[in-house]
Amino acid sequence: MSEIWVWVDGCLNDVESVRGRRFALFVQSLIVVSLVCFSVETLPGLPGWAVDVLAWAEVVLVGLFTVEYLARLFVADRRLRFVFSFFGLVDLLAILPFYISTGLDLRAVRAFRLLRLFRIFKLFRYNRAIHRFHNALLIAKEELILFSCAGLIVLYLAAVGIYYCEHEVQPDQFGSVFHSLWWAVATLTTVGYGDVYPVTVGGKVFTFLVLMIGLGVVAVPTGIVASALAEARDTD
Q: Which of 186, 189, 212, 211 is nearest to 197 (CA)?
A: 186
What does the alpha-carbon distance between residue 220 and residue 185 come to, in Å, rounded to a whole number? 16
Q: Does 134 bind its own copies (CB under 8 A)?
A: no
Residue 58 contacts its own copies per CB under 8 A: no
Contact between 191 and its own copies (CB under 8 A)?
Answer: yes
State the Cα–Cα distance between residues 161 and 184, nearest whole angstrom.
Answer: 10
Residues 76-105 that bind its own copies (CB under 8 A): none
* Nearest-angstrom CA–CA distance, 188 and 207: 9
Residue among 28 and 66 whose Cβ is closer to its own copies: 28
Calculate ∠ Cα 98-49-40, nearest 5°: 60
CA 78 – CA 110 distance, rounded (Å):
33
Q: Is residue 106 within the footprint of its own copies (CB under 8 A)? A: no
- Tell me: does residue 18 bind its own copies (CB under 8 A): no
From 5-13, 55-63, 94-102, 127-135, give the range in contact with its own copies by CB under 8 A.
127-135
Q: Does 219 bind its own copies (CB under 8 A)?
A: yes
Residue 195 is which amino acid?
Answer: D
Applying CB under 8 A, the site for its own copies has a residue count of: 73
3-state secondary structure 82-108: HHCCHHHHHHHHHHHHHHHHCCCCHHH
Report, in Å, the least distance between residue 212 CB and its own copies: 8
- Identity of the residue, 78 or 128, whose beta carbon is nearer to its own copies in the bound complex: 128
Q: Smallest distance, Å, CB 63 to its own copies? A: 23
- Residue 182 within binding range of its own copies, rule CB under 8 A: yes
Rule CB under 8 A: say whether 208 interacts with its own copies.
Answer: yes
For 83, counting Cβ atoms within 10 Å of its Cβ (0-12 exposed, 13-18 middle, 19+ buried), the class is middle
Chain residues 139-158 in contact with its own copies, contact rule CB under 8 A: 139-140, 142-143, 145-146, 148-149, 153, 156-157
Q: In this complex, which beta carbon is closest to its own copies, that of residue 100 or of residue 130? A: 130
